[in-house]
């Protein structure tokens, strides 16, 4: 194991996949210069500018070119810079990439990865801080992954690159510089398999992406023995692990950075209720952002953030402590 940042773990994983498969390449804005978070640093020097491609500033062009390249047999890694910019390429993603395998009866496939760094980061304001995860999980044909640790950043990216389905990789901007233990030789992490960050029968806490380390800290602060489940992927997601945990605890807290209203947490709660019935639940709570644009002001932005203290309080409420 080695202790490295989220960005470095992802960079090394991409480099390993490019060495393994010459059909893997990456395109997006400023990739030759290393990318906005340094996640492509040094790759152009190793692989050349035909495989690490800096594109014009046109998200629709980037997404469309990636689809065309995938249909021709390569495995593109499409860098959207930040998730908000994907809105300029939603037709290519939603109506073309997600549907092409179905529309052509499997004759063509979009074996590609769309990297979307999302969420709050250093006062980026309302147009650069959004979490689009619930929208993306709603789109048939897309796989959606959301790593919350450096090790998962590497393993999920490797799985995404090898997938024959289009994968949206939601990378948390606020964790690019976070450090964690990563295997020297990382392996792909399968989609739909959650990670238990803590164990306990008093409550079940489900989270993913940027809140993962915050929830881990909050759970420790709460003093309540609870299962802390990091989903790692949102579609498919590990329903079996979550439902089994809630059957034991009878208490569920879902925490995500995205707006609470219509967030993916609602899907988690709904599936749990359908599976075990309301009689099996003694307490349910969702924690997310208010339905408001993310402000530029640092104090106002901080007021919207999930904190360990807020998580600890919510766990105590749900656990009836």
- Residue spans of the domains in the chain: they are 2-182, 195-319
Nearest alpha-carbon partner for 120 in 173, 84, 66: 173
pLDDT digits (tens, 9 = 90+) for 42-62: 999 999 999 999 999 999 999
Supply the Cα-derived Rg of the chain in whole angstroms: 19
Q: For residue 262, is it left (φ>0), alpha (ψ between -120 and 50) or beta?
A: left
Give the pLDDT score at 57: 95
Mean pLDDT value across residues 209-218 = 98
Residues in the chain: 321
Give the pLDDT score at 79: 98
Mean pLDDT value across residues 56-80 = 97
Give the pLDDT score at 229: 98
Count the Cβ atoms, other than its own, within 10 Å of residue 279: 7
Give the pLDDT score at 122: 86
Nearest alpha-carbon partner for 156 in 141, 171, 175: 171
274 φ, ψ to 5°? -65, -35
At 46 the three-state DSSP class reads helix
Domains 2-182 and 195-319 share a fold: yes
Q: Is 256 a catalytic residue?
A: no
Q: Which homologous superfamily does the CATH classification assign to the domain defined by 2-182?
A: Thiamin diphosphate (ThDP)-binding fold, Pyr/PP domains (3.40.50.970)
The dihedral formed by the CA atoms of 59, 162, 14 and 263, expressed in degrees to the nearest 10: 60
Rounded Cα distance, 85 and 202, in Å = 41
Give the pLDDT score at 84: 94
Catalytic residue, candidates 11, 128, 251, 256: 128
Count the Cβ atoms, other than its own, within 10 Å of residue 218: 27
Kindly report the average pLDDT of the chain as a whole number. Answer: 96
Rounded Cα distance, 211 and 148, in Å = 7
Answer whether 229's CB lies under 8 Å from 199's CB.
no
pLDDT digits (tens, 9 = 90+) for 132-189: 999 999 999 999 999 999 999 999 999 999 999 999 999 999 999 999 999 999 999 9
Mean pLDDT value across residues 118-134 = 92
Confidence band of 292 (pLDDT split at 50, 70, 90) = very high
pLDDT digits (tens, 9 = 90+) for 245-289: 999 999 999 999 999 999 999 999 999 999 999 889 999 999 999
Q: Which fold has domain 195-319?
A: Rossmann fold (3.40.50)
């Amino acid at each position: 194991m080695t202790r490295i940042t989220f960005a470095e773990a992802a960079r090394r994983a991409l480099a390993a996949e490019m060495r393994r498969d010459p059909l893997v390449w990456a395109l997006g804005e400023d990739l030759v210069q290393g990318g906005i978070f340094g996640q492509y640093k040094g790759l152009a020097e190793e692989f050349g500018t035909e495989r690490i491609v800096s594109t014009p500033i046109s998200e629709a062009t980037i997404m469309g070119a990636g689809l065309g390249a995938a249909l021709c047999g390569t495995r593109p890694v499409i860098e959207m810079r930040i998730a908000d910019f994907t809105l300029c390429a939603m037709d290519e993603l939603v109506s073309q990439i997600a549907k092409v395998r179905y529309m052509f009866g499997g004759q063509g496939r979009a074996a590609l990865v769309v990297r979307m760094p999302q969420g709050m980061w250093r006062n980026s304001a309302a147009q650069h801080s959004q979490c689009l995860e619930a929208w993306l999980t709603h789109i048939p044909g897309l796989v959606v992954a959301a790593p919350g640790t450096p090790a998962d950043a590497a393993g999920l990216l490797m799985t995404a690159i090898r997938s024959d389905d289009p994968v949206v990789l939601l990378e948390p901007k606020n964790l690019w510089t976070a450090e964690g233990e990563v295997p020297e030789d990382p392996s792909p992490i399968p989609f739909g398999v959650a990670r238990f960050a803590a164990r306990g029968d008093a409550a079940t806490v489900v989270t993913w992406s940027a809140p993962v380390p915050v929830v881990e800290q909050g759970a420790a602060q709460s003093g309540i023995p609870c299962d802390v489940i990091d989903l790692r992927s949102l579609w498919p997601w590990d329903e079996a692990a979550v439902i089994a945990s809630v059957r034991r605890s009878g208490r569920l807290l879902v925490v995500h950075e995205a707006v609470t209203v219509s967030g993916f947490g609602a899907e988690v709660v709904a599936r749990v209720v359908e599976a075990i019935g309301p009689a099996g639940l003694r307490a349910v709570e969702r924690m997310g952002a208010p339905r408001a644009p993310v402000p530029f002001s640092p104090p106002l932005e901080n007021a919207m953030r999930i904190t360990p203290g807020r998580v600890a309080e919510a766990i105590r409420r749900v656990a009836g402590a």
